């Protein structure tokens, strides 16, 4: 069968993504129950200590730090799930495969359960590739699902990254699927190996075919490995496979690298970073219909140099603008409101009060809020959840941005 016949279209990739998501849900639900228990238990202990007046900074910190860690853990899971459901398959950017795989490890662990051990070995300084992160993550989620199904009684998954230079001699020995020849050059090689039942030799040539499956009818779409190959091919990469019945299967994926790329250094000192983005008494009109969130964000902004006028309803926000438009520097609003749209109000402000800067936010996926439309209108946007640093930085930059 010709290689061109093997390229999987976007609809097949999307269809297979939802199979992956369904498999993730049970593990994620379990993890979220644990996260909620951690937050609830530590929050109750904080309240108990306050009621007893048995409070000092260190004792509160001992309970608050686990709450912060649990929130970050939940945030990463949600962001990863949103990435997995993302339909934008076009945008390519510079990707560090070590970083991508480390960030994905949490969901991989959710997928495999407790009876499968995962062992990773990442090269110290990986080369970079040009890729679509959502697609690349789908490759490894699909391989994880296959590995789990091949190890019903438990086992191990090994994930390894390494930088390799392929010359003509090595290229001829790789045996890439549907590729007459591997182009010599520099690649990041990812090995994904399981200790499962293995793939019978008589079907090895069929496993990457669309809708081919060894699973019972109604289980899965039969697109898992076909999608893997389609995505690897889209990235101008190669994939080969080795398997031994009763011992397991190894997939070897090669992505061509780009050179002379350096990761941006992150400022690690949170306190110094926050101080860079303090306000100077500017007024912010904050529109958010979630009461608890509105209260805490208002306190954060007020504690960091801003004067905040907050409201729950759009009609109240419009009234405030009419009374204080000369004072308001920034309109910060959720997009989806109980009485309208933050985006529509932003459009109204731009038409009638163009001096006021605009920052929008939402916890919904990009497709629901129509992020492309927001970007086209040149509104600034920050997705939920956000850290204090992320929020202050975005607000400062939005207020100071020249029109």
Residue pLDDT, tens place only, 186-211: 999 999 999 998 988 877 777 777 65
**Judgement on whether residues 170 and 278 belong to the same structural domain of the protein:** no
What CATH number is attached to the domain comprising 309? 3.40.50.2300
Both 222 and 94 in one domain: the answer is yes
Residue 263 confidence class, pLDDT cut points 50, 70, 90: very low
Please check whether residue 70 lies inside any domain of the structure: no
Categorize the per-residue pLDDT at 265 as very low, low, confident or very high, splitting at 50, 70 and 90.
very low
| Residue 106 banded pLDDT, cuts 50, 70, 90 | confident
- CATH code where residue 117 lies: 3.30.565.10
**Residues 248, 158 contacting (CB under 8 angstroms):** no
How confident is residue 62, by pLDDT bands cut at 50, 70 and 90?
Answer: confident
Residue 402 vs residue 235, higher pLDDT: 235
| In the block, residue with structure tokens 């090995």 | 191
Q: How many domains does the chain have?
A: 2
3-state secondary structure the chain: CCHHHHCCCHHHHHHHHHHHHHHHHHHHHHHHHHHHHHHHHHHHHHHHHHHCCCCCHHHHHHHHHHHHHHHHHHHHHHHHHHHHHCCCCCCCEEEEHHHHHHHHHHHHHHHHCCCEEEEEECCCCCCEEEECHHHHHHHHHHHHHHHHHCCCCCEEEEEEEEEEEECHHHHHHCCCCCCCCCCCEEEEEEEEEECCCCCCHHHHHHCCCCCCCCCCCCCCCCCHHHHHHHHHHHCCCEEEEEEECCCEEEEEEEEEEECCCCCCCCCCCHHHHHHHCCCCCCEEEEECCCHHHHHHHHHHHHCCCCEEEEECCHHHHHHHHHHHCCCEEEEEEECEECCEEHHHHHHHHHHHCCCCEEEEEECCCHHHHCHHHHHHCCCEEEECCCCHHHHHHHHHHHHHCCC
**More confidently predicted of 322 and 75:** 322
| Same domain flag for 308 and 216 | no
Instruction: Identify whether 159 is part of a domain.
Output: yes
Q: pLDDT category, 24, cuts 50, 70, 90?
A: low
Residues 107 and 215 in one domain: yes
What pTM did the predictor assign? Answer: 0.49
pLDDT of residue 110: 79
**Per-residue model confidence (pLDDT) at position 58:** 83
Same domain, 291 and 230: no
Which band of pLDDT confidence, cut at 50, 70 and 90, is reported for residue 6? very low
Q: Is residue 75 part of a domain?
A: no
Q: Do 129 and 179 have their domain in common?
A: yes
pLDDT at 249 over 70: yes
Looking at the structure, tell me whether residues 249 and 303 fall in a common domain.
no
Q: Give the pLDDT score at 5.
A: 44
The better pLDDT of the pair 395, 32 is held by 395
Q: What's the pLDDT tens digit per position in 37-49?
A: 788 888 888 888 8
pLDDT over threshold 50, residue 291: yes
Non-local (6+) Cβ contacts of 130 within 8 A are: 92, 93, 94, 95, 235, 258
Q: pLDDT over 70 for what percent of the chain?
A: 78
Structural domain boundaries, residue 16: 8-25+81-258
User: Span 76-81, mean pLDDT?
Assistant: 64
Mean pLDDT score of the chain: 80
CA distances from 355 to 194, 288, 350 (A): 59, 21, 8
pLDDT at 227: 78
Q: Residue 259: what pLDDT?
A: 62
Q: What pLDDT, on a 0 to 100 scale, did the predictor assign at position 17?
A: 53
204 & 297 share domain: no
> Could you give the CA distance from residue 85 to residue 17 in angstroms, rounded to a whole number?
7
Given 192, 227, 258, the domain boundary residue is: 258
């Amino acid at each position: 069968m010709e290689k061109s016949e093997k390229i999987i279209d976007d609809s097949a990739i999307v269809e297979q993504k939802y199979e992956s998501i369904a498999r993730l849900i049970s593990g994620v639900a379990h993890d979220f129950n644990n996260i909620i228990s951690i937050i609830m238990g530590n929050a109750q202990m904080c309240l108990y200590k306050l009621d007893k007046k048995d409070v000092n900074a260190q004792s509160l910190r001992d309970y608050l730090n686990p709450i912060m860690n649990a929130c970050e853990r939940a945030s990463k899971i949600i962001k990863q799930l949103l990435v997995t459901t993302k339909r934008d398959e076009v945008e390519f950017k510079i990707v560090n495969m070590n970083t991508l795989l480390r960030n994905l490890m949490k969901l991989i662990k959710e997928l495999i359960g407790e009876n499968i051990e995962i062992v990773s070995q990442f090269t110290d300084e990986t080369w970079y590739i040009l890729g679509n992160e959502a697609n690349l993550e789908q490759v490894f989620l699909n391989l994880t699902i296959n590995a789990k199904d091949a190890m019903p009684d438990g086992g191990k998954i090994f994930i390894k990254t390494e930088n390799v230079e392929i010359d003509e001699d090595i290229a001829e020995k790789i045996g890439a699927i549907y590729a007459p020849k591997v182009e010599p050059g520099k690649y990041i090689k990812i090995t994904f190996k399981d200790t499962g039942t293995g793939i019978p030799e008589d079907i090895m040539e069929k496993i990457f075919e669309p809708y081919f499956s060894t699973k019972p009818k109604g289980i899965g779409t039969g697109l898992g490995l076909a999608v893997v190959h389609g995505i690897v091919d889209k990235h101008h990469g190669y994939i080969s496979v080795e398997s031994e019945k009763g011992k397991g299967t190894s997939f070897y994926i090669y992505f061509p690298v780009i050179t002379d790329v350096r990761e941006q250094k992150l400022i690690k000192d949170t306190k110094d970073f926050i101080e860079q983005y303090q306000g100077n008494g500017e007024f912010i009109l904050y529109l958010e219909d979630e009461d608890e969130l509105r209260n805490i964000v208002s306190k954060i902004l007020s504690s960091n140099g801003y004067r905040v006028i907050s409201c729950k309803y759009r009609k109240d926000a419009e009234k405030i603008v009419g009374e204080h438009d000369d004072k308001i520097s920034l309109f910060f609003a959720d997009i989806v409101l109980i009485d309208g749209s933050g985006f529509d109000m932003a459009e109204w402000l731009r038409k009638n009060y163009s001096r006021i800067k605009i920052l929008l936010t939402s916890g919904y996926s990009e497709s629901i809020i129509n992020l492309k439309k927001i970007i086209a209108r040149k509104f600034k946007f920050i997705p939920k959840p956000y850290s204090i640093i992320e929020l202050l930085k975005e607000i400062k930059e939005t207020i100071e941005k020249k029109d």
